[in-house]
Copies of this chain bind each other. A is one copy, B any other.
Amino acid sequence: MPATIVTHSFVPWQALEQHQTTLPTGSFGACANFVGSMRDFNAGDEVSEMTLEHYPAMTQHYLDELCGTTIAQWQLVDALIMHRVGIIRPGEAIVLTAAWAAHREAAFAACRHLMEELKSQAPFWKKELTPTGERWVHNAPSEK
């Protein structure tokens, strides 16, 4: 149930493939996962680069706890969270959440829960670079 803060570009599909080999073959029937990646536009502007700041000790603590409670709540085989920090470019993966379960209902619900909790609670902050300069991102509730 690892939660990992990643400082360099990563390929989420490779992380999933790699992590799944550590799980007992045939123990799960469902893996739901989500990859958030950087777009080259936001709020009507081109975005060429993003810097992700975080509160390292709290982030790790929070994500570990989130993995643990989510596994327990949905009786998952396992869960995985990866999150980028530092300078990110369009197309690069920002976040990966994954949940392995016996059946799809639990996998879907748990994967969604990991993302929603992370988005609303984990201490990360995005700063975008646009043609008119840098700006902190504000989450629009309508843009889930």
Is A29 a contact of B39 with CB atoms below 8 Å? yes
> What is the CA–CA distance of A26 and B115 in the complex, to the nearest angstrom?
20
Q: Which residues of A contact B (CB under 8 A)?
A: 11, 13-14, 16-17, 20, 25-41, 90-91, 102-105, 107-108, 111-112, 115, 143-144
B residues in contact with A33, CB < 8 Å: 32-35
> What is the CA–CA distance of A103 and B91 in the complex, to the nearest angstrom?
14
B residues in contact with A91, CB < 8 Å: 25-26
Is B17 a contact of A105 with CB atoms below 8 Å? no
Q: Is the interface of A mostly helix, strand, loop or mixed?
A: mixed
Question: Which 7 A-B residue pairs are closest in the complex by CB-CB distance?
Answer: A26-B40, A26-B90, A25-B91, A105-B144, A13-B13, A13-B17, A29-B39
B residues in contact with A111, CB < 8 Å: 32
> What is the CA–CA distance of A13 and B115 in the complex, to the nearest angstrom?
20
B residues in contact with A103, CB < 8 Å: 143-144
Is A25 a contact of B102 with CB atoms below 8 Å? no
**Contact partner of A35 among B25, B26, B30, B35, CB < 8 A?**
B30
